[in-house]
């Protein structure tokens, strides 16, 4: 029976609690920690947990016998908590975004290796039936080489969203919607399509004058072979329609699932290709529906990896690649230049200090709310 602790008992914590509770024969939540311990007490009561409450994560690590720690604190704390947990011999599941800088990601990956412990980064949208099926379709390569990818990571958050004390700042949130919202789709994009060789991006803040960071960004990725990708990250899109579209030489496929295939007429105009559409649809349908989707799906993956001593789907390297793309978007937009990947340690945005020194502020943060009374949140990921 794996003993689990959760550090940070705010908005996302219940998703972790509910997920662990779905696997009662594999794990038990034994400890909760928050700098506001009354929030941890409330979670303990709400879910009727037999868990110790701590107000300091180092005390939890030192005093409680645990195998796996979920880190659900703000991004600027992820690296320290993860590294200290790994060095104390615990496995770690850290919420997205992995950390505030590539330097921190590298130190986290190193700590995982050094201690031979699992470091997994939350990317729960991979663990959805449509995404897993689309991944399989792409692996068949039936649609030919991919020429263009469109990532629409559209979210909507009101002005007050950035009033929470740690949000909207380079120091504590680490970035805006590109980092904290589009991270889900950028993760899936790099998992399905691989890393481009260069990024050119523009960021802006159109409706949140209480945030230093962007509320929209548009990035273009270019691959060695000339194929392009466009990634839009936004918290100003009503309806939060989210999609990934892959245009292959012979067909397009996407999540939400849609397929269209064409061949060329003698004059170059398109002819429908229903046979290929049928093959692609069969490939999509050949994959089973997931039993557990979202956080429960990823937590099942982490528990299985620990128990069966096998790799996790989303490890530290994967988390780092996603942050590398996001960092490249920020660097490109900040300096209004195309950035070549992979980013090196010489990148002005490789370290947290570099980002804090160099990142332009759209606005300065005014109001700062300690905690919202309405604690319910949504996490997107409806791809049917």
Ligand X SMILES: NC(=O)c1ccc[n+]([C@@H]2O[C@H](COP(=O)([O-])OP(=O)(O)OC[C@H]3O[C@@H](n4cnc5c(N)ncnc54)[C@H](O)[C@@H]3O)[C@@H](O)[C@H]2O)c1
Binding-site ranges for ligand X (CB under 6 A): 7-12, 33-36, 39, 57, 72-75, 77, 95-96, 122, 124, 180, 377, 379
Round to whole Å and give the CA distance between 82 and 69.
8
Tell me the angle at which helices 129-140 and 274-285 cross, rounded to the nearest 10 degrees: 130
Closest by CA position to 324, among listed 183, 217, 192, 212: 183
Tokens representing residue 120 in the block? 């997994």
Cβ 160 to ligand X, closest distance in Å? Answer: 14
- The answer for residues whose C-beta is within 8 angstroms of residue 29's C-beta and 6 or more apart is 4, 5, 6, 17, 20, 21, 49, 51
Q: Name the helix (H) or strand (E) containing 32.
A: strand 27-33
Query: Which residue number, 11 or 218, has a Cβ lying nearer to ligand X?
Result: 11
User: Edge to edge, what strands does the sheet with 119-121 contain?
Assistant: 52-54, 27-33, 2-7, 68-71, 91-94, 119-121
Quote the least distance from Cβ 26 to ligand X, whole Å: 21
Q: In angstroms, what is the minimal distance from the CB of 104 to ligand X? A: 13
**What are the start-end ranges of the E strands in 110-264?**
119-121, 146-154, 198-204, 216-222, 228-234, 242-248, 251-255, 258-264
Burial status of residue 299 (CB atoms within 10 A of its CB: 0-12, 13-18, 19 or more): buried
- What CA–CA distance (Å, rounded) separates 21 from 354? 41
Structure tokens of 224? 């060695």
Judged by beta carbon, residue 32 or residue 143, the one nearer ligand X is: 32
Secondary structure class of 70 (helix, strand, coil): strand
Q: Shortest gap between Cβ of 247 and ligand X (angstroms)?
A: 28
d(CA 145, CA 247): 9
Q: For ligand X, which is the closer residue by CB, 155 or 284? A: 155
Shortest reach from residue 61's CB to ligand X, in Å: 11
Q: Which of 364, 319, 334 is nearest to 217 (CA)?
A: 334
Smallest distance from ligand X to CB 239, Å: 18
Q: Is 365 left (phi over 0), alpha (psi -120 to 50) or beta?
A: beta
Q: Which residue number, 264 or 375, has a Cβ lying nearer to ligand X?
A: 375
**Shortest Å, Cβ 31 to ligand X:** 12
Q: How far is Cα 57 from Cα 61, in angstroms, rounded to an integer? A: 6
**Distance (Å, rounded) from C-alpha 367 to C-alpha 177?**
19
Distance in Å, CB of 220 to ligand X, minimum? 25
| Residue closest to ligand X when measured from CB atoms | 10
Q: CB 39 → ligand X: shortest distance, Å?
A: 5
The strand pairing partners of 320, in sequence order, are none
- Taking the least distance from each CB to ligand X, the nearer of 180 and 247 is 180
């Amino acid at each position: 029976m794996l003993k689990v602790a959760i550090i940070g008992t705010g908005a996302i914590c219940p998703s972790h609690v509910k997920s662990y509770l779905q696997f009662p024969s594999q794990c038990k939540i034994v400890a909760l920690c928050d700098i506001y311990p009354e929030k941890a007490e409330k979670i303990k009561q709400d879910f009727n947990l037999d868990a110790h409450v701590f107000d300091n994560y180092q005390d939890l690590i030192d005093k409680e016998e645990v195998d796996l720690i979920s880190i659900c604190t703000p991004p600027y704390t992820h690296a320290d908590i993860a590294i200290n947990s790994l060095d104390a011999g615990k496995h770690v599941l850290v919420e997205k975004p992995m950390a505030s800088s590539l330097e921190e990601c590298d130190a986290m990956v190193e700590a995982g290796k050094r201690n031979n412990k699992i470091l997994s980064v939350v990317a729960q949208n991979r663990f959805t039936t449509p995404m897993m099926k689309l991944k399989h379709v792409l692996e068949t390569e039936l649609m030919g080489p991919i020429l263009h990818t469109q990532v629409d990571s559209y979210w909507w958050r009101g002005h007050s969203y950035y009033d929470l004390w740690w949000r909207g700042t380079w120091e504590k949130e680490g970035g805006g919607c590109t980092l904290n919202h589009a991270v889900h789709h950028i993760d899936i994009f790099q998992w399905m399509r691989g890393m481009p060789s260069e990024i050119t991006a523009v960021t802006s803040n159109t409706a949140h004058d209480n945030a230093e960071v962007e509320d929209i960004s548009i990035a273009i990725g270019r691959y060695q072979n000339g194929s392009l990708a466009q990634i839009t990250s936004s918290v100003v899109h009503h309806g939060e329609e989210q999609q990934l579209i892959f245009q292959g030489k012979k067909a397009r496929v996407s999540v939400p699932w849609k397929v269209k295939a064409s061949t060329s007429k003698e004059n170059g105009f398109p002819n429908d290709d229903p046979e290929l559409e049928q093959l692609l649809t069969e490939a999509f349908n050949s994959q089973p529906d997931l039993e557990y989707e979202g956080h429960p799906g990823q937590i099942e993956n982490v528990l299985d990896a620990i128990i069966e001593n096998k790799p996790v789907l989303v490890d530290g390297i994967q988390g780092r690649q996603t942050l590398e793309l996001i960092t490249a978007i920020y660097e490109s937009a900040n300096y209004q230049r195309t950035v070549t990947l992979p980013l090196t340690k010489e990148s002005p945005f490789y370290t947290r200090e570099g980002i804090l020194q160099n990142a332009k502020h759209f606005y300065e943060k005014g109001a700062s709310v300690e905690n919202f009374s309405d604690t319910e949140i949504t996490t997107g990921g409806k791809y049917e």
